[in-house]
């Protein structure tokens, strides 16, 4: 592989604003060249701070950031050559679309002809050709967004940072922009560091996702791994939907463990439990639990239906199962007629492999 | 109702527009009643006084009313040679009434302003009339011409004729150091007596520099105010506004304490050895004093509009500029500065207009070389009691401000002004 696996490197980075609280704690993160990496986390988790340190608007309190093996802490933002898309686009309101895009090229003293060519190319990339003379205020939110993306890319930066760029758009537009940005990334192969608190956005777009909480990266892995195999209960809780059981490990053998709950016992996949007697939270994705399973599953329990909510393509069923009255099931609305009625007792089964025994909450 | 467009009717069959008007009428009346007090207030305190000022500035009815018959008779006179008998007869009968009412002194005063020398010849004529020396049976022209040789001078009769129109623009000419010559031409006052033009120019000059200084000082302050964290910016805001809450007179007086020759600033200069004790610079009763004090007093008017505009500029714009490769200076000059232009416009316009009509501060610290046109207006209001001249100059000042506003509108566009 010729690509640099440590194109951007956070090396033991700490950040504190007030000298009392660490916003980012001992961050170590390597980003490969051409990768689309997303920093995902709740607000206040330190993800935007990381982005700002990479862009140069904040300095690390401790540690160093490397860009292509060069430490960049002492390089001012305008010399870093990093493109950035801001939360509210930050288009220059007094300049036309053309002038906005030409700005990074003009300050680089590129000739007028080349500027025209590059602006043309960038605008056609975001399918906004012909909008050169519009003012930003004359564009819709989605168009402004595309101009912002085009402007961040027009000077061919090695890295592009995006700080919740789709936050202000409505749902449909957001989804189509997600694909658009993903396609742009695929076609030009630029390294993208993307910050969002929207997990579906992160799952759709990224090569890898770094889940932030409390100033730390909780898990860094590909979207499917993050969803299927969360390494701790924060990630399991934060990404997607999740049914949990709190309990105590009473047996640990053959790659599976037995967890004693307040009502009953279940078999689970030991991820972060080490020995008998550990407290644990067992996490099961709703779609991994089936009603009246045809194949044999090693967990089988009866529950009472407490709520049925129709969602069009599927029905959400809330059950009281093993003392947990918040157990959620997603039942696809297929022709298969199941006896889903309020108050009915039904049989639920899942594989112990899909029930991950994680750290206790 | 055009036959082409179909009129839309409500379900009751009433035309929609009529129905809409009816529905809105109550609200409109309510809204109007709410603004009526302000409207009345504006009319009484603004429109009427300005109208009155204008009337006063062009009013010249006194002589017109005093000499009605004279002026009727003068209508036929060509104004080149001595007027005919009828003019003298008319003048004599007008004058007799004035003498009875003891108003001939006013006439003498007014005519003397038009042409020197009227005072004494009217007094002489008055004595003759009082003693009934004029025989109405004979030619009045001959008799009046005998009273004094100036009554035989056609220039004096021309001067009387010039006061005939009830309105005059003479006061406005005077405000620009010009006057009507004997033949009605506009003449320039001799060079060493042209005080008003100097004052107008000085007013413009001082207003311009005060605006410039407050801009240079206010811009960074406003920027700080808009970007500092709340707890510091509040404190700074109070520092900016504190002068606002202090009486103008107190502020000016404190500048007098600071700037006078034995004042604190001079003491300090002497202490650090910048100037010799016996050679203290004059910083007051000249332009320096006016500049310093006016800039300080008008600074908030520059800072506040700038601040309100800067507050709306997202910090991410500057960041975007830098991340796109602009040096901090380029980011400032190409992005931040152009976005503050509406605030700069509003601040400069406000300060300039306020400065152009400033009065108390230049009166107290300006001395002879630091007074402005408004001080001259006040002088005529209070000392010479020439209210019509004061009114004329006041209106000229107002016109000047409107011209500034118009030019500004042409250059920047009033729509671009942002006061908050």
**pLDDT tens profile A289-319:** 888 777 777 888 888 888 888 888 888 888 8
Chain B residue numbers touching A88 (CB-CB < 8 A): 314, 316
- Distance CA(B328)–CA(B215), nearest Å, equals 21
**Beta carbons of A88 and B328 less than 8 Å apart:** no
CB-CB under 8 Å, B338 with A155 = no
pLDDT attached to residue B219: 94
First to last CA, chain A: 41
- Kindly determine whether residue B335 and residue A92, on different chains, have CB atoms separated by under 8 Å: yes
**Are residues B324 and A155, on separate chains, in Cβ contact within 8 Å?**
yes
SS3 label, residue A355: coil
Spell out which residues of chain A touch residue B323, defining contact as CB-CB under 8 Å.
55-56, 77-78, 80, 82-84, 161
Q: Measure Cα distances from B322 to A104, A186, B81, B114, B330 in Å.
A: 9, 26, 84, 70, 8
* pLDDT tens-place string over residues B258-277: 888 888 888 888 888 888 88
Residue B76 at interface with chain A, using a CB cutoff of 8 Å: no
Cβ–Cβ contact B337 with A under 8 A: no
Q: Where are the domains of chain A?
A: 8-233, 241-358
Residue among A57, A80, A103 minimizing CB distance to B319: A57
Task: Provide residues of A within 8 Å CB-CB of chain B.
Answer: 55-57, 76-84, 86-88, 90-94, 103-104, 107-108, 151-152, 155, 161
Look up residue A215 and give its two tokens: 């100033």
Which of B68, B69, B70, B94 minimizes the C-alpha distance to B83? Answer: B70
Task: Provide DSSP, A152-205.
Answer: HHTT--SEEEEESTTTTS-HHHHHHHHHHHHHHHHHH--EEEEEES-HHHHHHH
Among candidate residues A160, A208, A174, A193, the one with its CA nearest the CA of residue A47 = A193
Please state the rounded mean pLDDT for residues A226-230: 87
Q: From the candidates B231, B321, B325, which should be mutated to test the interface with A, based on the most A CB atoms within 10 A?
A: B325
What pLDDT was estimated at residue B2?
Answer: 45
User: Among residues B190, B207, B188, which one has the least CA distance to residue B199?
Assistant: B207
Q: Chain A residues with CB inside 8 Å of B319's CB?
A: 55, 57, 77, 84, 86, 90
Greater pLDDT, A220 or B185: A220
Which residues from chain A sit within 8 angstroms of residue B330, using beta carbons?
A: 107
Mutation pick from A94, A105, A159, A162 vs chain B, by most beta carbons of B within 10 Å, is A94
User: How high is the pLDDT of residue A160?
Assistant: 92
Contact B316 A55 (CB under 8 A): no
Kindly state the average pLDDT of the residues A205-210. 90
Contact between B325 and A93 using a beta-carbon 8 Å cutoff: no
Residues 6+ apart with CB under 8 A from A118: A101, A105, A110, A154, A155
> How large is the average pLDDT for residues A95-104?
92
* Average pLDDT of chain B, as a whole number: 85
Residue B193: both structure tokens together: 């007596």
pLDDT 10s digits, B296-326: 889 999 999 999 999 889 888 998 999 898 8
Average pLDDT over chain A, rounded to an integer: 86
Q: Is residue B1 over pLDDT 80?
A: no
Q: Is B312 on the interface with A (CB under 8 A)?
A: no
Q: Which residues of B touch A53 (CB under 8 A)?
A: none
Above 80 in pLDDT, residue A236? yes
- Backbone torsions φ then ψ of A309, nearest 5 degrees: -120, 125
What 8-state DSSP symbol labels residue A88?
A: T
Q: B325–A82: do the CB atoms touch at under 8 Å?
A: no
For strand A191-196 and strand A159-163, is the pairing parallel, antiparallel, or unpaired? parallel
The sign of the dihedral angle between the CA atoms of B183, B188, B193, B196 is positive
Q: Which CATH architecture has domain A241-358?
A: Beta Barrel (2.40)
Average pLDDT for B285-290? 84
In angstroms, rounded to a whole number, what is the distance separating the alpha carbons of residues B312 and B227?
A: 11
Tally of CA atoms within 13 A in the half-sphere of A318 that contains its CB: 8
Predicted-assembly ipTM surpassing the 0.95 threshold: no
Show residues of chain B in contact with A91, CB under 8 Å: 320
Average pLDDT over residues A247-271: 82
The whole-angstrom distance between A148's CA and the closest CA on chain B is 10
Which chain A residue's Cα is nearest to B330?
A107
Q: Which residue in A197, A194, A117 sits closest to A154, CA to CA? A: A117
3-class secondary structure, A70? strand
Chain B CB contacts of A82 below 8 Å: 323
Query: Which residues in chain A have their CB less than 8 angstroms from residue B342's CB?
Result: none
Nearest-CA distance from B320 to chain A in Å? 6
Q: Match domain A8-233 to its CATH number in 3.40.50.300, 1.20.200.10, 2.120.10.30, 2.60.420.10.
A: 3.40.50.300
Q: Name which of A238, A188, A173, A184 is nearest A212 in CA terms.
A: A238
Which tokens sit at B393?
């100059």
Question: Does the structure show a pLDDT above 60 at A43?
Answer: yes
List, in order, residues 6 or more apart from B144 with CB less than 8 Å away.
B88, B91, B92, B125, B134, B151
Smallest Cβ–Cβ distance between B320 and the set A86, A108, A155 belongs to A86
Q: Given this model, what pLDDT does residue A142 score? A: 86
In angstroms, how far is the first alpha carbon of chain B from the final one? Answer: 44
Query: Residue B358 has which token pair?
Result: 């400033």
Q: In the prediction, which pLDDT does B329 show?
A: 92
Report the candidate in B160, B153, B150 with the shortest Cα–Cα distance to residue B95.
B160
pLDDT at B418: 58
Q: Looking at the predicted structure, is the pLDDT value of residue B5 above 80?
A: no
Contact A81 B327 (CB under 8 A): no
3-state secondary structure of A32: coil
Residue A2: predicted pLDDT = 58
CA–centroid distance for B335 within its chain: 38
Confidence of residue B3 (pLDDT cuts 50, 70, 90): very low
Whether residues B316 and A90 touch (CB distance < 8 A) is answered with: yes
d(Cα A56, Cα A161) in Å, to the nearest integer?
11
Confidence of residue A126 (pLDDT cuts 50, 70, 90): confident
Q: How confident is the model at residue B237 (pLDDT cuts 50, 70, 90)?
A: confident
Give the Cα-Cα-Cα angle B52, B55, B59 (nearest 5 degrees). Answer: 140
pTM over 0.95: no
Task: Round to whole Å and give the CA distance between B391 and B172.
Answer: 9
Of A81, A88, A152, the CB nearest to B316: A88
pLDDT band for position A338 (cuts 50, 70, 90): low
Interval B152-179: pLDDT, tens: 888 888 888 888 888 888 888 888 888 8
Beta bridge partners of A194: A38, A162
Inspect the interface and report whether the beta carbons of A77 and B317 lie closer than 8 Å: no
Q: Tell me if B321 and A155 make a contact (CB, 8 A cut-off).
A: no
Which of A58, A103, A151, A193 is best to mutate for the B interface (most B CBs within 10 A)?
Answer: A103
For B195-416, CATH gives: 1.10.3720.10
A55, A93, A94: residue with CB nearest B323? A55
Contact A108 B325 (CB under 8 A): yes
Cβ atoms of A61 and A2 within 8 Å: the answer is no
Query: Which pLDDT band, with edges at 50, 70 and 90, does A27 fall under?
Result: confident
Q: Where are the domains of chain B?
A: 61-166, 195-416
Question: How many helices (H) does chain A have, and how many strands (E)?
Answer: 8, 20
Cα dihedral sign, B63-B66-B72-B78: negative
Distance from CA of A272 to the nearest CA of B (A): 42
């Amino acid at each position: 592989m010729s690509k640099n696996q440590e194109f951007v490197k956070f090396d033991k980075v700490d950040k504190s604003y007030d000298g009392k609280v660490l916003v980012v704690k001992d961050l170590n993160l390597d980003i490969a060249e051409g990768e689309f990496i997303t920093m995902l986390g709740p607000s206040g988790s330190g993800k935007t701070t990381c982005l700002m340190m990479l862009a140069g608007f904040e300095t690390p309190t401790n540690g160093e950031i490397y860009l292509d093996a060069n430490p960049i802490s002492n390089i001012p933002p305008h010399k870093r050559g990093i493109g950035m898309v801001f939360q509210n686009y930050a288009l220059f309101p007094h300049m036309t679309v053309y002038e906005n895009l030409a700005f990074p090229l003009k300050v680089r003293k590129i000739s007028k002809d080349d500027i025209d060519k590059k602006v043309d190319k960038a605008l056609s990339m975001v399918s906004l050709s012909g909008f050169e003379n519009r003012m930003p205020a004359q564009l819709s939110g989605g168009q402004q967004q595309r101009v912002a993306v085009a402007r961040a890319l027009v000077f061919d930066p090695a890295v592009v940072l995006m700080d919740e760029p789709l936050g202000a758009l409505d749902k449909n537009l957001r989804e189509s922009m997600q694909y658009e940005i993903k396609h742009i990334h695929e076609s030009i192969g630029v390294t993208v560091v993307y910050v969002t608190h929207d997990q579906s956005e992160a799952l759709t777009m990224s090569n890898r996702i770094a889940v932030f909480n409390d100033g730390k990266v909780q898990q860094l892995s590909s979207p499917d791994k993050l969803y299927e195999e969360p390494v701790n209960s924060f990630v399991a809780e934060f990404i997607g939907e999740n049914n949990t059981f709190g309990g105590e490990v009473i047996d640990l053998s053959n790659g599976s463990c037995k967890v004693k709950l307040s009502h009953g016992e279940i078999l689970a996949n030991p991820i972060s439990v080490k020995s008998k007697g550990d407290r644990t939270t067992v996490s099961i994705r709703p779609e991994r639990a089936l009603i009246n399973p045809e194949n044999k599953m090693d967990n089988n329990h009866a529950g009472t239906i407490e709520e049925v909510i129709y969602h069009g393509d599927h029905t959400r069923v809330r059950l009281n199962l093993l003392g947990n009255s918040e157990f959620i099931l997603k039942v696809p609305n297929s022709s298969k007629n199941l006896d889903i009625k309020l108050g009915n007792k039904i049989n639920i089964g899942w594989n112990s492999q899909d029930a991950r025994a994680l750290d206790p909450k | 109702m055009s036959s082409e467009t179909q009129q839309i009717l409500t379900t009751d069959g009433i035309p929609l527009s009529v129905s809409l008007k009816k529905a809105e009428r109550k609200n409109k009346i309510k809204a109007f009643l709410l603004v009526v007090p302000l409207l009345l207030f504006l009319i009484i305190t603004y429109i009427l006084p300005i109208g009155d000022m204008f009337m006063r500035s062009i009013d010249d009815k006194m002589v017109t009313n005093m000499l009605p018959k004279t002026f009727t008779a003068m209508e036929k006179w060509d104004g080149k040679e001595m007027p005919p008998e009828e003019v003298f007869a008319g003048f004599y009968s007008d004058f007799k009434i004035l003498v009875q009412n003891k108003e001939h002194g006013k006439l003498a005063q007014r005519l003397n302003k038009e042409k020197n020398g009227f005072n004494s010849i009217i007094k002489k004529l008055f004595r003759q009339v009082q003693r009934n020396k004029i025989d109405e049976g004979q030619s009045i022209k001959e008799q009046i011409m005998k009273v004094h040789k100036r009554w035989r001078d056609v220039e004096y009769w021309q001067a009387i004729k010039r006061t005939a129109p009830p309105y005059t623009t003479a006061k406005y000419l005077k405000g620009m150091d010009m006057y009507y010559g004997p033949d009605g031409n506009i003449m320039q006052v001799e060079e060493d007596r042209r005080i008003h033009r100097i004052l107008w120019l000085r007013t413009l000059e001082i207003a311009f520099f005060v605006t410039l200084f407050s801009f240079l000082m206010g811009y960074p302050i406003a920027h700080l105010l808009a970007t500092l964290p709340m707890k510091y910016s509040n404190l700074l805001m109070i520092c900016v506004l504190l002068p606002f809450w202090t009486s103008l007179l107190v502020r000016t007086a404190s500048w007098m304490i600071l700037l006078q020759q034995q004042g604190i600033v001079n003491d300090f200069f002497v202490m650090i050895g910048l100037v010799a004790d016996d050679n203290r610079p004059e910083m007051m009763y000249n332009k320096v004093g006016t500049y310093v004090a006016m800039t300080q007093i008008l600074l908030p008017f520059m800072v506040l509009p700038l601040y309100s505009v800067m507050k709306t500029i997202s910090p991410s714009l500057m960041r975007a500029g830098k991340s796109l490769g602009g040096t901090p200076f380029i980011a400032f000059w190409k992005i931040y500065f152009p976005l503050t232009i509406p605030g700069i416009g509003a601040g400069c316009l406000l300060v300039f207009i306020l400065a152009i009509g400033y009065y108390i501060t230049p009166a107290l610290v300006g001395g002879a070389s630091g007074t402005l046109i408004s001080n001259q207006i006040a002088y005529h209001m209070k000392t010479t009691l020439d209210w019509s001249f004061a009114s004329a100059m006041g209106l000229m000042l107002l016109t000047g401000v409107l011209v500034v506003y118009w030019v500004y509108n042409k250059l920047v566009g009033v729509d671009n002004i942002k006061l908050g």
